Amino acid sequence: MSKNKDIWNTRENAEAYDEYALNFLMYKDTSRDLVALANIQEGMVVIDLAAGTGVTTQAIIEKVAGNVSIIAVDQAEEMLNMAKEKFTDGNVEFV
């Protein structure tokens, strides 16, 4: 992992990113709009690229009431670790 990736992949950074994303509504609004544009339907398998701590993953689950399989992909393991804490029902796979 490069030096920049090492800096990005810390628990402290993941927590700061998560707090920012939750409080800066542009992230939620953009995720909701992306999900609507993708026309995600129940029963689909959806890949959430650059999933971070799960803002878009949450928007997908809310859109289809959890009846979807999601593959959440991110290069920062600590981002995914935070997302794993949020999504424990088994319909999200983390890569």
pLDDT value for 5: 66
Q: Residues 60, 35: contact at Cβ < 8 Å? A: yes
Q: Residues 32, 59: contact at Cβ < 8 Å? A: yes
Please give the single-letter amino acid code of residue 45: V
pLDDT value for 3: 62
Residue 58 predicted with pLDDT over 80? yes
Give the mean model confidence (pLDDT) for residues 60-68: 88
State pLDDT tens for residues 22-40: 898 898 999 999 999 999 9
pTM recorded for the entire structure: 0.86
User: Which of these, 88, 79, 70, 61, lies nearest to 18 by C-alpha position?
Assistant: 79
